[in-house]
Chains A and B, each alone.
Chain A
């Protein structure tokens, strides 16, 4: 017995069944925000073949036999990119058995890489995917060291090729939390970071001696020192969580000294040092909703933070702080727009900019020929509360528009009506 109430999945189910050129799709008639040089295209067409965007424009000829998706009256944008998630390493927050995002042992610090713990079958992934989240950084969170560990970029599609860049960044916790971890002072936390960076460089210059046991002892393990190499070399970004303006300045000084590719995460008081951030070309991952002085390090919080940072020339990307509801990135971008951020910058802050921060913009984040086809067809303005994703493509594949939550909904929906089924809901099996 089947009681399936599919509302949003209908069009995709239909197109999946249609005979067509394998893996070729034409999305036609929509307003396409490419976020590339072509800008916004009215009545645009996007052709997807074998996972890539092969054509974008207003005058694109649709080849015969491809599967068409009519996006008339709709908006087409790159998929959302969560720049600091815990997808696959955090299932139920309060159930420690399902948590792999923090290492509370200090045996390893920088070497800790969440990638091997990621579960691509996490139910969080479809729940966010059907609402337009297509890629994410899976980041560790602070355990018992200021060095949280390393994170990877994933796509939220099927399990094949799930991790697309690893390691992609090192995460460091300073500020109020970092000071606790480092023994009671911000200065101590910075000292711990300085020592790690210095030792990693020293180790790199003296590997042979280290292997012979002829080098001075380091506080970090061999694996940690190895793991730090691409970061002290400035190849990969170091994401430092910090909020207070003076803490941001302190990190900027240290990063300049060590020539780090620095990213600031948090930055509640970022707008106070916006010019310094812009000058140092340091991007910011932030929650644009943050407007309460909820900590002594966030007394300068304001909803205009995003607009002020962007105006100063800082590259900004938004995070929600809750992977379960990363789907609300669009709402957070809308709030930033309501408080002064230009609309298209709000869209970029949940799509392209995350890709840029992690050096992924050559393959994702915008709708341009040659890029991976990660895109969303929205029922209306994606930043609005009442719009939703009509279709989601990840690497050129249409995603099934179902999740554990749609199955729960469809199971119980018949029972709120007068003619409720006689058998209990448990007999309603979605598959």
Chain B
């Protein structure tokens, strides 16, 4: 008996059962009205033409494989998916024989732009290491859109990414979700309607950063006390605002940007993305979340998630993992190759991530390694299912699975045409579409955007135009 469909259904159900009441990004479900997004998205899809890719193997991102299928991209959306689709005159037809199509890859954990190439100090803006709580800062204010890494990531099939602050603080600040288009302002890359994330960090990093300065926190118990006090303060702040909004008499409470971010989490409008390696710390954080009535969208890195898949599933919290990183610090000591497939088989939402400008270029390969490791121990996972680890599951963890991450009709046409099976090391992303626009074409130098930074450089280094 195959357990796959059951597991998948459970993962989805668990996620939505818990997530639905809490997450309604963009919808006002509380009396508190903080000012709207001060850095609104100005994203506009690049020009596109109606495109039909024919005779291609499609992994839909929902666990299905379709052989010799056609897919139509029209007006920025997935317009149709099936056999023998008819092309009206003027439609660009691409023969995909022998090739594969997947949803665009979503990297839910990237520091592109905030720790860009070149990695010089003047451009390193990812960690505001001056206070363990910097919930007030926003990664989008540090992103350097000219980071050549956006281009190499796109050439690797990445169409959406979450840029996070670093993990040196208990509360690192707000993340931002970007469409991977080569724009020169961050606002023009911002994924329309995607909720902000709040980067939080467990474990060694915050206690080392502050402990080494003789400051708070210097222990794990210090870390946890730090989170709890901040949440208690945020509850108080939120109550004061809500009370004032009842009758709006007198001056409003003073705005506090840290408290504002935390209150947005409590009100379900900002999603917690938490750096956390160890099983016991993840369990502790789920308790803290229950105490203060918020939800943790995902644990990032989560090298011990394979020890607690049932706990993650019960809480509707995704695990965001590497295929094989381990051993670089104590909290990464228990990493195993089978982490992702074991979390998946245990019923929780499993997701790949890079946290790395090289790894982000080969997330299909990292997914393939995890998939193969799972099947070696008999977990019997299909390729079509494993594709979800880099598409639909990160979309769920970001709360954008109603927009992208799968090739269902009406979804954003964020699509990769692969030269072959995406789980082969020899396969390359050949064409990458974002909202139906061809943003990268390996066969056409005119569709290989390059960073300003690489202009005028001698030689033929790729500088992002792989």
Interface assignment of A38: CB less than 8 Å from any CB of chain B: no
Interface string of B303-340 (1 = CB under 8 A from A): 00011011000000000000011111110011111100
- The residues of A that contact B361 with a CB separation of less than 8 Å are 291
Q: How far is the CA of A409 from the CA of B428 in the complex (A)?
A: 31
Interface assignment of A219: CB less than 8 Å from any CB of chain B: no
Interface assignment of A245: CB less than 8 Å from any CB of chain B: yes
> In the complex, what's the smallest C-beta–C-beta distance from B156 to chain A, in angstroms?
10
* Contact (Cβ within 8 A) A296 B369: no
- The residues of A that contact B335 with a CB separation of less than 8 Å are 405
Interface assignment of B254: CB less than 8 Å from any CB of chain A: no
A-B contact pairs, 22 of them (CB 8 A): A92-B327, A93-B329, A291-B466, A292-B152, A293-B453, A293-B461, A296-B118, A299-B454, A300-B457, A301-B462, A303-B462, A303-B466, A337-B425, A337-B426, A385-B423, A386-B368, A386-B371, A386-B423, A388-B372, A412-B306, A412-B307, A415-B346
* Contact (Cβ within 8 A) B330 A405: no
* Contact (Cβ within 8 A) B376 A324: no
Q: How many residues of B contact A (CB 8 A)?
A: 58
* Contact (Cβ within 8 A) B461 A335: no
Q: How far is the CA of A337 from the CA of B335 in the complex (A)?
A: 29
- The residues of B that contact A269 with a CB separation of less than 8 Å are 459, 461
Q: How far is the CA of A413 from the CA of B336 in the complex (A)?
A: 11
| 8 Å CB contact of A335 from B333, B362, B368, B463 | B362
Interface residues, chain A, with chain B CB atoms under 8 Å away: 5, 7-8, 91-95, 124, 245, 269, 272, 289-296, 298-304, 324-325, 327-328, 331, 334-335, 337-338, 383-388, 405, 408-409, 412-413, 415-416, 425
Interface string of B165-190 (1 = CB under 8 A from A): 00000000000000000000000000
Q: Name, among A5, A269, A324, A425, the residue most crowded by chain B CB atoms within 10 Å (CB to CB).
A: A324
Interface assignment of B452: CB less than 8 Å from any CB of chain A: no
Interface assignment of B387: CB less than 8 Å from any CB of chain A: no
- The residues of B that contact A383 with a CB separation of less than 8 Å are 425
- The residues of A that contact B337 with a CB separation of less than 8 Å are 405, 409
| 8 Å CB contact of B425 from A95, A338, A415 | A338
Q: How far is the CA of A408 from the CA of B378 in the complex (A)?
A: 16
- The residues of B that contact A302 with a CB separation of less than 8 Å are 460-462, 466
Interface assignment of B424: CB less than 8 Å from any CB of chain A: yes
* Contact (Cβ within 8 A) B425 A385: yes
* Contact (Cβ within 8 A) B463 A299: yes
- The residues of B that contact A301 with a CB separation of less than 8 Å are 461-463
| Chain B contacts with A in 401-439, Cβ cutoff 8 A | 423-428
Q: How far is the CA of A124 from the CA of B204 in the complex (A)?
A: 22
> In the complex, what's the smallest C-beta–C-beta distance from A393 to chain B, in angstroms?
20
- The residues of B that contact A387 with a CB separation of less than 8 Å are 372
> In the complex, what's the smallest C-beta–C-beta distance from A275 to chain B, in angstroms?
14
- The residues of B that contact A338 with a CB separation of less than 8 Å are 425-428
When A325-B324, A331-B365 are in contact, do A300 and B357 touch as well, CB less than 8 Å? no
| 8 Å CB contact of A295 from B118, B428, B457, B463 | B118
> In the complex, what's the smallest C-beta–C-beta distance from A318 to chain B, in angstroms?
13
> In the complex, what's the smallest C-beta–C-beta distance from B386 to chain A, in angstroms?
11
A to B contact number (C-beta, < 8 Å): 150
> In the complex, what's the smallest C-beta–C-beta distance from B363 to chain A, in angstroms?
12
* Contact (Cβ within 8 A) A299 B457: yes
- The residues of B that contact A413 with a CB separation of less than 8 Å are 338, 342, 377
Q: How far is the CA of A416 from the CA of B385 in the complex (A)?
A: 18
* Contact (Cβ within 8 A) B461 A334: no
* Contact (Cβ within 8 A) B327 A299: no
| Chain B contacts with A in 70-125, Cβ cutoff 8 A | 117-120
Closest to B345 in A: A416
Closest to B375 in A: A386
* Contact (Cβ within 8 A) B428 A94: no
Interface assignment of B148: CB less than 8 Å from any CB of chain A: yes
Q: How far is the CA of A387 from the CA of B373 in the complex (A)?
A: 9
* Contact (Cβ within 8 A) A93 B152: no
Dominant SS at the A interface? loop
| 8 Å CB contact of B119 from A91, A272, A294, A324 | A294
* Contact (Cβ within 8 A) A328 B324: yes
* Contact (Cβ within 8 A) A93 B377: no
Closest to A5 in B: B377
Q: How far is the CA of A91 from the CA of B327 in the complex (A)?
A: 7
- The residues of B that contact A299 with a CB separation of less than 8 Å are 118, 454, 457, 459, 461, 463
> In the complex, what's the smallest C-beta–C-beta distance from B341 to chain A, in angstroms?
9
Interface assignment of B149: CB less than 8 Å from any CB of chain A: yes
Closest to A297 in B: B118
When A335-B425, A416-B306 are in contact, do A293 and B148 touch as well, CB less than 8 Å? yes
* Contact (Cβ within 8 A) B327 A124: yes
- The residues of B that contact A334 with a CB separation of less than 8 Å are 425-426
Q: How far is the CA of A245 from the CA of B461 in the complex (A)?
A: 12
Q: In the complex, given contacts A331-B369, A383-B425, A385-B365, what are 10 additional A-B residue pairs having Cβ atoms less than 8 angstroms apart? A: A92-B333, A269-B459, A291-B466, A294-B117, A294-B119, A295-B119, A302-B460, A335-B365, A337-B425, A388-B372
- The residues of A that contact B306 with a CB separation of less than 8 Å are 409, 412, 416
- The residues of B that contact A124 with a CB separation of less than 8 Å are 327
Interface assignment of B291: CB less than 8 Å from any CB of chain A: no
- The residues of B that contact A324 with a CB separation of less than 8 Å are 325-328
When A289-B358, A292-B117 are in contact, do A94 and B330 touch as well, CB less than 8 Å? yes
- The residues of B that contact A5 with a CB separation of less than 8 Å are 377
| 8 Å CB contact of A296 from B120, B149, B371, B462 | B120
Closest to A406 in B: B336
- The residues of A that contact B424 with a CB separation of less than 8 Å are 384-385
| 8 Å CB contact of A291 from B204, B426, B462 | B462
Q: How far is the CA of A304 from the CA of B462 in the complex (A)?
A: 9
Q: How far is the CA of A303 from the CA of B460 in the complex (A)?
A: 11
Closest to A321 in B: B358
Closest to A296 in B: B118
| Chain B contacts with A in 267-303, Cβ cutoff 8 A | none
> In the complex, what's the smallest C-beta–C-beta distance from B387 to chain A, in angstroms?
14
- The residues of A that contact B368 with a CB separation of less than 8 Å are 385-386
* Contact (Cβ within 8 A) B376 A8: yes
Interface string of B357-395 (1 = CB under 8 A from A): 110011001001101100011100000000000000000
* Contact (Cβ within 8 A) A409 B120: no
Closest to A379 in B: B376
> In the complex, what's the smallest C-beta–C-beta distance from A243 to chain B, in angstroms?
11
- The residues of B that contact A405 with a CB separation of less than 8 Å are 326, 335-337
| 8 Å CB contact of B118 from A294, A328, A384 | A294
- The residues of B that contact A325 with a CB separation of less than 8 Å are 324-326
* Contact (Cβ within 8 A) B152 A92: no
> In the complex, what's the smallest C-beta–C-beta distance from A147 to chain B, in angstroms?
25
- The residues of A that contact B462 with a CB separation of less than 8 Å are 291, 301-304
Q: How far is the CA of A415 from the CA of B312 in the complex (A)?
A: 13
- The residues of A that contact B330 with a CB separation of less than 8 Å are 92, 94-95
- The residues of A that contact B328 with a CB separation of less than 8 Å are 92-94, 324
